[in-house]
Amino acid sequence: MSNKGIKEYIVKKEKGIYELPYGSIYGMKLPCRLILSEKLLDEIDEEAIKQLARVAMLPGLASAPVGLPDMHWGYGVPIGSVIGFQRKDGIISSGMVGFDINCGISLFKTGLSKERVIEHKERLGKFLLKKIPTGVGSKSNIRLTEIELNRVMEEGARWCVKNNYVSESELKHIEDEGRLEGADTSKVSKEAKKRGIKQLGSLGSGNHFVELSYVKNIFDKKEAEKYGLKKDTICVMIHTGSRGLGHQIATDYVKLHLKAMERYKLSFPDKQLAGAPIGSPEAEDYLKAMKCAANFSFANKLVLASFVEKGLNEFFIAGEEKRLKGIYTISHNICKKEKIQGQEIFVHRKGATRAFPEEPAIIAGSMGSSSFLMKGTEKSLKYSLGSTCHGAGRALSRKEAKQSLNLAKVKQSLDAKGISVFSHSEKGILDEAPKAYKSIYKVIESTEDAGISKKIAEFSPLIVIKG
């Protein structure tokens, strides 16, 4: 590459779709595809684009690596990226999935009225904060034996059905019905199990949240009716993952994959891209352990949902309108074997969601802006490996947010919008302040311009519980 900045090599292919051409950086085997607007291109850190370019140097890629509108710098690969490998010469990479395995979002509707929630907003928020274990290292009051933890990791959402946290009919509202087949608990370390055994039904910290929101706008009435959504419907959104269990599994297998690279004589431009050849013991063992974390995450969100439902029934008079009814649960940070346009591909989604044609996708904004229910399209299979973005994407690092933002002003800004935030950590609120994120509206517009997903409904927050 010459002295030109990497953005100067990017070319527009069509509306909402840009490309970093093959050869922009020496060693690239394929171009990189960027799905965004011109405005968002200006906002993306060049280091994130360089990360994606380094991915394009890897063997066995099934298609061009994809950067989505919420793309920002991450571990090894940008958060907001999708990378697919073919079986021949391809790899499975623990770093490309990341440390919060199957971090994802669950969306539920309730029968509560918007007026009633607004009327009791402050008391209700404080009440729910007491009911939901939040924060770094937070622990649930659920006590599992190791045998029962293994069952959670093997069964995922079905464990919640067996233990009366949710009805079986809810499983159809979860990606993969809340269980990835092939999980093997013998591939999970004792340290990972130790970290996870007390965390089922806990939110954690960082960008994780529980939110009560209302339907602000309906864009596709027919699709919204499928989910029973109308204007002002009160919904509950839960964003969390596999907690310490998933983090330790990732840590363990990043180390193993670094050793595997030596064993298989693989040389990559960044050690954080470490992986093992598809079909190798190191790749297969990781996938089995990753599925354990993914299943734990599915169960974790359902248990948290049961805590929220119980809290609503305690706060108000118990009744049918307090029930949480699933709209959909979607995964981020996952690796799956999928058939896309007739080709078997091992798809790594890092801060990305599946968006197969006509399937739902949930895209979260910041705690000061709307979130969206979308649906995937045929075009997503062609341009983004059946994927769309997962959120607004960070504009400021957590360190930058703490240094440049004022907590009192952040709270005042949220209050002015009618949004109440509740957290045991002031640091957590600053880290996740709205100004730390890109505009969700620009991000959503970019996905629609590119044609990879379409809006169904918009949700505006009223109460946000932060980790």
Residues annotated as catalytic are 390
Q: Looking at residue 170, what DSSP letter applies?
A: G
Contact call for residues 239 and 208 (beta carbons, < 8 A): yes
| Tokens 């699933």 found at | 326
3 state SS of 335: strand
Q: Identify the three-state secondary structure at position 235.
A: strand
- Report the SS3 class of residue 195: helix
Nearest to 80 by CA among 343, 451, 437: 437
| Pair type for strands 104-109 and 234-240 | antiparallel
> How many angstroms separate the CA atoms of 218 and 45, rounded?
33
Distance, in Å, from the CA atom of 244 to the CA atom of 194, rounded to the nearest integer, reads: 9
Strands 104-109 and 325-331: antiparallel
- The pair of three-digit structure tokens given for residue 226, joined into one six-digit string: 């499928």
The three-state DSSP-derived secondary structure of 79-108 is: EEEEEEECCCCCEECHHHHCCCCCCEEEEE
Three-class SS of residue 144? Answer: coil
Which residues fall within 8 angstroms of residue 9, CB to CB, at 6 or more apart? 1, 20, 21, 24
Query: Measured between alpha carbons, how far is residue 321 from residues 22, 112, 184, 303 in Å?
Result: 55, 6, 39, 19
Contact 334, 124 (CB under 8 A): no
Question: Is the Cα torsion angle 246, 421, 461, 142 positive or negative in sign?
Answer: positive
What does the block give as tokens for 413? 């800004």
Q: Kindly state the tokens that stand for 415.
A: 């209050």
277-281 long-range contacts (CB < 8 A, ≥24 apart) are 277/89, 277/90, 277/91, 278/60, 278/85, 278/87, 278/90, 278/91, 278/92, 278/346, 279/87
Minimal CA–CA distance to 291: which of 340, 230, 333, 238?
A: 333
- Output DSSP code: residue 447: H
Read off the DSSP letter of residue 37. Answer: -
Looking up tokens 């805590």 gives 307
Which amino acid type is present at position 141?
N
